[in-house]
Amino acid sequence: MPANRIQIETFFRGIAVSPGVCRGKVLILERGHEEEPPRRPIAAERVEEELARFQRSHAAIRHQILQIQEEVRGKMQSKELEIFDAHISILDDPVVLEETVRMVREQLMNVEFAYHAVVERYAEALAEVGDDYLRERAADLRDVCLRVLNHLLGRDQQVDLQHLTEPCILVSHDLAPTQTAQLDRNMVLGLATDVGGKTSHTAILAGSLRIPAVVGLQNISLELTSGDYVLLDGFNGIIVVNPTDQTLYEYGEIVRKREDLQAGLLESKDSPAVTLDGTRIIVAANIEHLSDILAVHECGAEGIGLFRTEYLFLERETLPTEEEQFNSYQRVAKAMKPQSVILRTLDVGGDKISGVFGMTAEENPFLGLRAIRFCLQKPEIFCTQLRAILRASIVGNIKLMYPMISGVDEIDEANRLLESCKEELRSKGVPFDESIEVGMMMEIPSAVLMADALGRRAKFFSIGTNDLIQYTLAVDRLNERIAHLYDPAHPGLLRLIQMTVESGNRNKIWTGVCGEMAADPALVPLLLGLGVTKLSISPIAVPAVKHLIRCLKLSEARELAEFALSAESSVEVLARSRALVQRIAPGFLENHSASI
Ligand code: PEP
Ligand code: MG
């Protein structure tokens, strides 16, 4: 437990990623690691108590290690079991223990600080010797120390996300998309993490689960304690610990205003998004789960522009069979008929890792075995999905889309496998839509540069700006420390979007945008001005984006885009774009916080 629990109203600022306000008790899932535990003075009469605490934690970790060793005995070779013996002798090292006790007694300090200091001194000395064996022992020493510290600091309580018993605001150092996808909406009122960016899949999922969320809070997981009372503002990216009555009242007003505005927008949700000068823009929805279909119907979206099908795979112990996938795809096709559903083939890897695929950790997962690269290396998994999609295509209006295409070889290979699946189904007399449209995500700069050739092979381009931004600007979409550099208004990015649209036009195919950028009111005019004709966004953002389009003249959007393409920095682009929105829809920007 942190030494000093926060007593007064305190504000923390992070990155707003999922709108909404909630308040409740904090539940810490996983804490980040402090460089070193804080040093606290101990009164002389408290020394024995402090040492007894140390003894208890030491004994508990000893018990834990022996217990794990027992559990895995029989499953591991005896050589591997020796690691546990090594950890016990590190834990029991008399020199470390005696020095720690001496420091506490003589310098009247807390035991966490003393133990960490002693261990670090030895670990550093070992690591400095140019010997691999000793370097590994230094790592073992630190590992054992961390376990004891976690116990001393109360950081090691396990939280079972599947069985939460009371509503909470979940606070964690990080949260994987697989964990987020399984959250119980009735129990998790809000989410706050130390790390993360606006377009991390955890952020996107929180949005579709409608759980207010703030990421990039740096070390909120260390500052807070389970049971703290907080207010979470997912519109502005703020956490307020111990909010005063005045703060609660002000937030009540904000929420009421937002609800009124959203209710107003919902009244016209089913009207098409036609600009003032008569151009119809299709606004579809992005989904991750079948359960999102209801939200799609309720928001007035025109079909599903992106179904991230990997979520059907990520939350399981075994791969879904062709039959299971077929059932899911036909359910969504039926539910949306006659509107179209774009099923994106598996996009695993990056921040979406699952044991079900036998994936191993990579140094740079976003530059690694991801999406189409993974599928082409695992044709049996890919073809099972392709067959299931093809079979479902007769039920409704299904289109198929490949993620992360970087050049013609990948799309040619994917299409070759698709043709072989079609042939197999034909030979068995299994029906499917012979004219199913196959498009691709445009999310890697090399693909944009090859768009003319790719456009001859695809029926549509859907620009995945979440990735296109990170790969163009070399800015990790998950990293809160460089979140300010993740810049959707960067003229370089806008040029890539324009190049894609022009290649699409030359090939007589449509170009849409399905990244989070398409939900940002300040950026929508730019996208339309660049010639994008379809947007696919989170359901919750659909009514506002449709409304904004109805306030806009395409001719003005084109002028804006022309200016942006010749601009040298995003600052002037954003200023001009925001001014346009401010003029055509006063107050809109303030009241519809962007998801990016
Ligand atoms: C994108 O990259 O913009 C996109 C929509 O795909 P994802 O967010 O799933 O990577
Ligand atoms: Mg992507």
Tens digit of each residue's pLDDT (9 = 90 or more) over 498-551:
999 999 999 999 999 999 999 999 999 999 999 999 999 999 999 999 999 999
Q: Which of 170, 294, 307, 286 is closest to 239 using CA atoms?
A: 170
Taking the CA of 404 as reference, the closest ligand is: 2
Which residue out of 204, 347, 404, 527 has the highest number of ligand 1 atoms within 8 Å of its CB and is therefore the one to mutate? 347
Instruction: Report CA(342)–ligand 2 centroid distance (Å).
Output: 14
pLDDT at 213 over 80: yes
Q: Is 177 in the pocket of ligand 1 (CB under 6 A)?
A: no
Domain ranges of the chain: 10-30+159-244, 44-153, 288-436
Candidate from 23-37, 76-90, 271-285, 500-514 with smallest mean pLDDT:
76-90
Instruction: Report CA(207)–ligand 2 centroid distance (Å).
Output: 16
Instruction: Report CA(443)–ligand 2 centroid distance (Å).
Output: 6
d(CA 551, CA 365): 41
Determine the atom of ligand 1 nearest the C-alpha atom of 516.
3
Fill in the DSSP letter of residue 540: G
Residue 353: predicted pLDDT? 85
Residue 3: predicted pLDDT? 46
Q: Give residue 128's pLDDT band: very low, low, confident or very high (50, 70, 90).
A: confident
Mean pLDDT of 13-41: 89
In one letter, which amino acid is 335?
Answer: A
In one letter, which amino acid is 16?
Answer: A
Q: How far apart are the first and last CA of the chain?
A: 34
Q: Is 87 in the pocket of ligand 1 (CB under 6 A)?
A: no
Tens digit of each residue's pLDDT (9 = 90 or more) over 222-234:
899 899 999 999 9
For atom 3 of ligand 1, which residue has the closest CA? 464
pTM of the entire predicted model: 0.83
In one letter, which amino acid is 233?
Answer: D
pLDDT at 467 over 80: yes
Residue 579: predicted pLDDT? 97
Helix runs in 428-515, H state only: 445-449, 451-455, 465-473, 491-506
Question: Going by DSSP bridges, is the β-strand pair 168-172/21-30 parallel, antiparallel, or unpaired?
Answer: parallel
- What top-level class would CATH report for the domain 10-30+159-244? alpha beta
Q: Give residue 559's pLDDT band: very low, low, confident or very high (50, 70, 90).
A: very high
Q: Is 467 in the pocket of ligand 1 (CB under 6 A)?
A: yes
Q: Which of 201, 289, 490, 547 is catalytic?
A: 201
Q: Give residue 157's pLDDT band: very low, low, confident or very high (50, 70, 90).
A: low
Which residue out of 440, 444, 467 has the highest number of ligand 1 atoms within 8 Å of its CB and is therefore the one to mutate? 467
pLDDT at 59 over 70: yes
Taking the CA of 516 as reference, the closest ligand is: 1
Taking the CA of 514 as reference, the closest ligand is: 1
Q: Is 443 in the pocket of ligand 1 (CB under 6 A)?
A: yes
Q: Is 514 noted as a catalytic residue in this protein?
A: yes
Q: For 305-343, b where at least 16 C-beta lie within 10 A, e where not — what string?
A: bbbbbbbbbbeeeebbebeebbebbbebbebbeebbbbb
Residue 525: predicted pLDDT? 98
Q: Does domain 44-153 fall into CATH 1.10.274.10?
A: yes
Q: Which of 232, 238, 239 is closest to 211 using CA atoms?
A: 232
Contacts for 379-383: CB closer than 8 Å, 24+ residues apart: 379/417, 381/319, 381/346, 381/357, 382/345, 382/346, 382/414, 382/417, 383/417, 383/420, 383/421
Tell me the two tokens of residue 361: 């950790």
pLDDT exceeding 90 applies to what percent of the chain? 79
Q: Kindly give the interhelix angle for 78-91 and 132-152, rounded to the nearest 10 degrees.
A: 60
Mean pLDDT of 562-575: 97
Tens digit of each residue's pLDDT (9 = 90 or more) over 339-351:
999 999 999 999 9
Q: Kindly list the distances between the CA atom of residue 465 and the CA atoms of 365, 407, 592, in Å, as whole numbers in the listed order.
A: 18, 17, 20
Mean pLDDT of the chain: 93
Backbone φ and ψ of 307, nearest 5°:
-110, 110
Contacts for 257-265: CB closer than 8 Å, 24+ residues apart: 257/591, 258/19, 258/591, 261/591, 261/592, 262/543, 262/544, 265/543, 265/544, 265/547
Q: Give residue 596's pLDDT band: very low, low, confident or very high (50, 70, 90).
A: very low
Q: Kindly list the distances between the CA atom of residue 466 and the CA atoms of 101, 180, 447, 472, in Å, as whole numbers in the listed order.
A: 52, 19, 15, 10
Tell me the two tokens of residue 435: 């004219």
Mean pLDDT of 113-129: 90
Taking the CA of 308 as reference, the closest ligand is: 1
Residue 400: predicted pLDDT? 98
Determine the atom of ligand 1 nearest the C-alpha atom of 199.
8
Q: Which of 22, 168, 375, 514 is catalytic?
A: 514
Q: Is 466 in the pocket of ligand 1 (CB under 6 A)?
A: yes
Q: Kindly list the distances between the CA atom of residue 176 and the CA atoms of 30, 70, 352, in Å, as whole numbers in the listed order.
A: 11, 30, 8
d(CA 296, CA 543): 11
pLDDT at 63 over 80: yes
Residue 361: predicted pLDDT? 83
Instruction: Report CA(445)–ligand 1 centroid distance (Å).
Output: 14
pLDDT at 74 over 80: no
Q: Is 514 in the pocket of ligand 1 (CB under 6 A)?
A: yes
Tens digit of each residue's pLDDT (9 = 90 or more) over 356-404:
888 888 989 999 999 999 999 999 999 999 999 999 999 999 999 999 9
pLDDT at 4 over 60: no
| CB within 8 Å of 344: residues ≥ 6 apart | 306, 307, 308, 309, 401, 402, 403, 441
For atom 9 of ligand 1, which residue has the closest CA? 308
Instruction: Report CA(434)–ligand 1 centroid distance (Å).
Output: 28
For atom 4 of ligand 1, which residue has the closest CA? 464
Cα diameter, the chain: 85
Tell me the two tokens of residue 595: 């998801």
Q: Give residue 576's pLDDT band: very low, low, confident or very high (50, 70, 90).
A: very high
- What top-level class would CATH report for the domain 288-436? alpha beta
